[in-house]
Amino acid sequence: MSTHIPTPSTPPSVAAQIARLPDLPMADIKALWQQLVGGETPTHNRQFLERRIAYRLQEAEFRKVDANLLDRNQRRIASLVETGKVKKRDRDYRPAAGTVLVREYKGVEHRVIATADGQYEFQSRMYPSLSMIAREITGMRWSGPLFFGLRPPSNAKAKPSTKKRGAR
Query: Residue 78 falls within a domain, yes or no?
Result: no
Overall number of domains in the chain: 2
- By the 10 Å C-beta count (0-12 exposed, 13-18 middle, 19+ buried), 61 is classed as middle
**Integer distance in angstroms from the first to the last C-alpha of the chain?**
76
Say whether pLDDT at 5 is over 70: no
- Give the side-chain half-sphere CA count within 13 A for 138: 16
Q: Distance between CA atoms of 154 and 38, rounded to whole angstroms?
A: 44
Instruction: Name the residue range of residue 35's domain.
Output: 14-65
- Tens digits of residue pLDDT in 62-94: 666 566 666 777 787 887 788 776 666 555 567
Contacts with 153 (C-beta within 8 Å, 6 or more apart), sequence order: 146
Q: What is the pLDDT of residue 86?
A: 64
Query: Residue 141 falls within a domain, yes or no?
Result: yes
How much is the pTM? Answer: 0.42
Helix axes 68-83 and 46-65, enclosed angle (nearest 10): 130
